[in-house]
Structure 1
Amino acid sequence: MSKQWHGWAGKVLWVDLSSKSYQTTELPAELAYGYLGQSGVNARLLYDLAPQGMDPFDPKAPLIFGVGPLSGTLAPCSGRFTVTAKSPLTGIFGDSNCGGHWGPELKQAGYDHIIITGQAEHPVYLWLDNDRVTIRDARHLWGKDTWSTDEAIKKELGDNTIQIACIGPAGENRVRFAAIICNLARAAARTGPGAVMGSKNLKAIAVRGNMGTSVAKPAQFREAVARAVEAIRNDPLYEVASTFGTTAITGLAQMLGFLPTRNFQQSTFEEGENLRGEVLLENYITKRKGCFNCPVSCSRFYKVSSGDYAGTLGEGPEYETISAFGSKCGNGNMESILFANTLCNKLGLDTISTGNAVAWAMEGYQRGIIKDSDTGLNQPLHWGSHKLIIELINKIAHREGFGGLLAEGALRAAKKMGGVELVVHSKGMDYPAVDVRGTKGMALSFAVSPRGGDHLKGLPMYEVGPEIYAKDIKELLGINVTPNYWMKYETKPQLMYWHENWHCVVDSLGLCKLEGIAMKPLLPVHFRDLLAFATGWDVDVLELELIGERIWNLERLFNIREGLRRHDDMPPARMFEPIGSGPAEGESLDFARYNQMLDEYYSLRGWDKAGVPTGKKLRELGLHYEGKN
């Protein structure tokens, strides 16, 4: 560890798989102080290293892993890392955030970032034993699932405590939404980084680190940690999060009418009661599980003891997965969802995009766009066919038959088969588990996200839990919460602007956003104190938010350089159709009001009418863009 660094490890590892070479450089101070770390520095590196038009599978295309200045420290929920690459699913900016223990191990090994380019002659894995770097043969691992790969590498290296991030068959076969898996169940999945890793013939990155982390002001840092932990445990939703994790959202979504059902044709599910967190907890959960240094432990281990899926074991699932293989596919069989979750983790698949691809196919079949002769399957693509869902997951990962088409993602599949209007997406990435017709701020958030249809870049829990956080919303944003706030257009551009900036900060510090900003136990002052005492940097809250804004604009510039403009910030056609039933019956996005909201958002951002950051805004943020508007 560089002696002059606190918080940050101070080192960047560059690996060229084509030449089987590597070098270590010092983390540039301007990157650390300008973009914090993890997702922010990753974004800067991607912008600089991936020129306009570069194919995501080009051997020269960078695959970047990063941790933040708080990763691996005593800061609560500091177990995150980010993987960044040009997305093979969307062709634009792509990154994925992941928890578990791999990120802190990388920090303990003395690295802030790994930049991987090139393509190995044959399958390899990267072995980082503190500052000793080895590129090892992985031909014997190619074709194995992630669980078998994890076990084999640990046995080969003689250490069961090694942290491993690896791909499964989906990544090897370049499924465009393939995931990178660590700790058997933690996934860097959205935007398809596993496919980029597979294109480089890189099976895994194994890490062992015991170099420790250094903080500038240990006593003050411990006090800041104690304040943060107290805030988390005093949060009104702490017990809910600790008990149910994100599965608590299933009941809320059903109650408020934003649970996507049958590919977003409805927003409540008649079998929704079967999918609630309470059902999971009572019948299948065996033990709670937490990521590195987490006081919440929102994940859980599960076991299926009887029925068609008896013997199924795994961790999770998240609300997104329950919706993806449950309500979105018209499936009320919880045991099949648990099996699908474990299967996706083993094969290395993003559960959201996998479920959406299947749901799109099911609706295409319902409407006669897809025929039995097109699929080659043994059974029709009927809603709720849970055994068919499992069959398709396997076929997608191995690119077999109809699964090979779905492995391209729902939008590409629809462009070939028809039914593009049935794909619920923005910028080529399909929507997560929120029907945004009933949540107007999320409608804006999903559409303008730099990754495409996405909730995690600006997840506004202030919108769906306004009564709980009314005081914070007033104090931090000056917004007075009104009845049914989630359905209102007013103030949502301001709400999203704030959330997006702070999500960038939290992701770049290396903290979990569930407790870090989404559910809001922690406030900007907590982030400021933790960073300042860890690094010795006398940063203030306003400067931190400005850094978040800089990161958001940089990610926007990457997409502007690839040709994206205002029309790419529009929600999909289905969101302008009224909801047919349920608590949000009749709700839809109004085209004129959405565009008014988008105009206001662009104005707040300092972007022109086409959604391009103005020169004035870029100068304020210390950014520069030479492309044509």
Structure 2
Amino acid sequence: ALYLYKLARSGIDAFAPEQPLIFAAGPLNGTRVPMTSKVGFFFKSPLTGGYGESIVGGSLPRYPKWIGYDAVIITGKSDKPVYILFTEDGIEFRDAMELWGRTVEETDNILRKEFGNRASIATIGPAGENLVYFASICVDKWRQAGRCGGGAVMGSKNLKALVFVSNDNWIEPANPAELESLVQEILEARKKSAGVKRLHEYGTSAMTILANEMGFFPTLYWSQGHFSGWEKIGPDAVKSVLKHVYGCWNCFIACGRYVSVRTKWGRIEIDGPEYETIYAIGGLFGVSELEDLVYLNYLADIYGMDTITLGNVLGFAVEAYKRKRINYRIDFGDTEAAVKLIRKIAYREDIGNILADGVFRAAKRLGLEDIAIHSRGLEPAGYDPRTLKGMSLAYATSPRGACHLRMMAYYVDIKGLAGSPHELTEKKIEKLIEFEDFMSAFDSLMLCKFGRDIFTLRMMWKLLNAVTGFNMSYEEFREALERITLLTRLFNEREGLYKDTLPERFFRESLIFGKEERRLEREEFNRALRMYYEKRGINSDGRLKEKKKRELGLDKL
């Protein structure tokens, strides 16, 4: 966040050549600490115009540190398509003309023939090349840095792929004995974690059960909280087509599901579908057949598009057609229409050119802002805030828009860590602030957030010191997390994006679940937001207080 703040000048266009694309590892990557299985891409988002970040796993997380990089900062624009090869011998820019125009799957296959299975490949598809605002950066074909449009930023630089090749070069910690003790503590905690066992057995699709039982599964473009027929696309259905499970590098959970499905388009083998895809393409767009869901998931992956935004766009397109704002015939669950529309979006053809900008901009162009669901231009994940009310604060305040991971409020709500999921109390606001900094620790150390019931802040602090030898005090560690959290907010403030709001529909429309009517009252939300501001050191207009800036050293930026 600091480098992005310093290098991306205020008001810079997301596709300007000088805009930085930052690829960063964390201090624990490349060590033997379990679950150091993430790396991050950071950029100004073309989708939101604000802070953009996207975290990804797969085979990639070990390579930057093993090759010798903490972070890679890419600026400029190539005159022709290239990919960048990273090895222990250095960096090489290679011609990518023969790869340009190819899908993610085709590109990965071609590069892997040359560099072998030890390589880790991050590439974009046609959506990234055509600057679709929600294009993904795709790792190992099926793992995506999906949110905020990083793939389009790569495409704007004529950068097709990043290829990493390295031998095993484990990072030696500053304090090996202390680190070994902490690793054993992590492994013991794993044995006691019910969440780890559930994720290993079912993957993220297990959330589909709870979402429908509790009534927070967004359905038919945010009109319902339960999807009739969800069982056909839920965890048991996914398990029935499972080929094998797998995990990201150095992760013992192995939540990945590699499935093989016979469809009318042929046999499809991919990693997935994950819960967020099941919700977005299944629930929001109304697809209740697993083979259809898997195929649409496959198309999103090979074209290189974020499935969360894509599902929201498809649902929005249905509502736009019903209101006669577009002439492309599409209805909920119409897979054939979706197949054609996804291609149009990826190549910016016809109506696809409008929808490729995401719901926020498409709604403005079509005069449908009153039905559009987004926060700061980012479409929400699969947790309706009219049931899980902590998510209302999460969606409104997250620096990258309607994000479920920055605060992980859904976990707080579901687990009842601060009372009922249907209320917004002071106790809950305090817990959400605690979790917001907790999640900043995961993102900074590049630990998988599914370790949320394994790792504690004190354990993370000890891990950081054992690996780096920083000898940072616990108080300094906690202050650094708050600084990171608020620095991302400060980036948006500089770009004029400091108002924390929710879509009007969340206040205007009730959510019917069984015989229960669930509402999010505007005053209820505003009261929670005021408490959040007061406890965070934020003015009532959404700008960070000068006193708080001075306390954290942010006034010197």
Q: Encode CA deviations 1:20-53: one digit per residue, 9 max, x unaligned.
A: xxxxxxxxxxxxxxxxxxxxxxx10110011111
Match of 1:294 among 230, 233, 251: 251
Deviation at 1:223, TM superposition (A): 1.5
Residue matched to 1:415: 364
State the Cα distance separating 1:363 from its structure 2 match. 1.5
Match of 2:522 in 1: 591
Match of 1:511 in 2: 447
- Specify the SS of the correspondent of 1:164: strand
2:394 pairs with 445, 448, 463, which one?
445
1:588 deviates by 1.6
Contact 1:441–1:489 (CA under 8 A) maintained in structure 2 = no
Q: Which runs of 4+ in 1 moved over 4 A?
A: none
Question: Partners of 1:190 and 1:81 in 2: how far apart?
Answer: 14
Deviation at 1:212, TM superposition (A): 3.2
Shift in CA distance, 290/584, structure 1 to aligned 2, threshold 3 Å: farther
- Cα distance in 1 for residues equivalent to 2:519 and 2:414: 20
Residues 504/346 of structure 1: CA separation in 2 closer, same or farther (3 Å cut)? same
The SS at the match of 1:273 is helix
Answering whether residue 123 of structure 2 is matched by residue 166 of structure 1, we say: yes
In structure 2, what is the Cα distance between the partners aligned to 1:623 and 1:614? 11
Aligned to 1:342, what secondary structure does the other structure show?
helix
* 1:591 partner amino acid: R
Of 302, 315, 329, the residue aligned with 1:359 is: 315
| Equivalent position to 1:312, from 249, 265, 268 | 268
Q: CA deviation at 1:507?
A: 0.6
Identity rate, percent? 38
* Structure-2 change in CA distance of 1:193 and 1:184 (3 Å): same
Partner of 1:95: 53
Cα contact 2:270–2:298 (8 A) shared by 1: yes
Cα separation, partners in 2 of 1:272 and 1:154, compared to 1, 3 Å: closer
Structure 2 matches for 1:46-65, cutoff 5 A? 46-65=4-23
Query: For 1:92-241, what aligned pairs fall within 5 Å after superposition?
Result: 92-157=50-115, 159-210=116-167, 211-241=169-199
Q: Deviations over 1:216-246 (max 9, x none)?
A: 1112212201111221231122221111121
- Which residue of the other structure, out of 498, 502, 506, is the alignment partner of 2:434? 498
Residue 205 of structure 1 aligns to a residue whose secondary structure is strand
Structure-to-structure mapping, 1:377-388, within 5 angstroms: 380-388=329-337
Distance in 1, matches of 2:515 and 2:177, equals 51
- Return the offset for 1:325: 0.7
Matches within 5 A, 1:460-539: 460-466=409-415, 473=417, 481-482=418-419, 484-515=420-451, 517=452, 520-539=453-472
Q: Do the aligned residues in 1 keep the contact of 2:17 with 2:77 (CA within 8 Å)?
A: yes
1:559 CA drift (Å):
0.6
Instruction: Provide the C-alpha distance between the structure 2 equivalents of 1:72 and 1:295, rounded to a whole number of angstroms.
Output: 15
- CA separation of 1:48 and 1:529: change in aligned 2, threshold 3 A: same
- In structure 2, relative to structure 1, the CA distance for the partners of 1:542 and 1:53 (3 Å cut) is same
Gaps of 5+ in 2: none
The whole-number CA distance in structure 1 between the counterparts of 2:523 and 2:326 is 37
What's the CA shift for 1:333? 1.4
Conserved? CA contact 2:511–2:519, under 8 Å: no
2:37 to 79, 98, 101: 79
Q: TM-score of the superposition, structure 1-length normalised?
A: 0.86
Q: 1:106 and 1:587 mapped to 2: Cα distance?
A: 47
Amino acid at match of 1:601: Y
- Aligned residues between the structures: 556
Q: Deviations along 1:85-107, whole A, 9 cap, x unmatched?
A: 10000111101000111121111
CA distance in 1, matches of 2:543, 2:7: 21
Picking from 379, 394, 400, the partner of 2:349 is 400
Kindly report which structure 2 residues correspond to 1:20-35, keeping only aligned pairs within 5 A, or say none: none
**Is the contact between residue 389 and residue 421 of structure 2 (CA under 8 Å) also seen in structure 1?**
no
| Greater mean deviation of Cα atoms: 524-533 or 449-458 | 524-533
Q: 1:543 aligns with which of 467, 472, 476?
A: 476
Give the 3-state SS of the residue equivalent to 1:100 in structure 2: coil
Per-residue deviation, residues 127-182 of structure 1 (Å, max 9, x unmatched): 1111411111111110111121112123234x331111111111000000000001
One-letter amino acid of the structure 2 residue matched with residue 364 of structure 1: A
- What is the alpha-carbon distance in structure 2 between the residues aligned to residue 507 and residue 107 of structure 1? 16
Structure 1 unaligned segments of length 5 or more: list them: 1-42, 468-472, 474-480
1:428 aligns with 2:377: yes
TM-score if structure 2 supplies the norm length? 0.97
Counterpart Cα distance in 1 of 2:438 and 2:207: 22
**Are 1:570 and 2:501 an aligned pair?**
yes
Paired residue type of 2:510: I
**Other structure's SS at 1:127 match:** strand
Describe the SS at the equivalent of 1:421: coil
* Cα-Cα RMSD: 1.6
Q: 1:625 to 1:612 in 2, by over 3 A?
A: farther
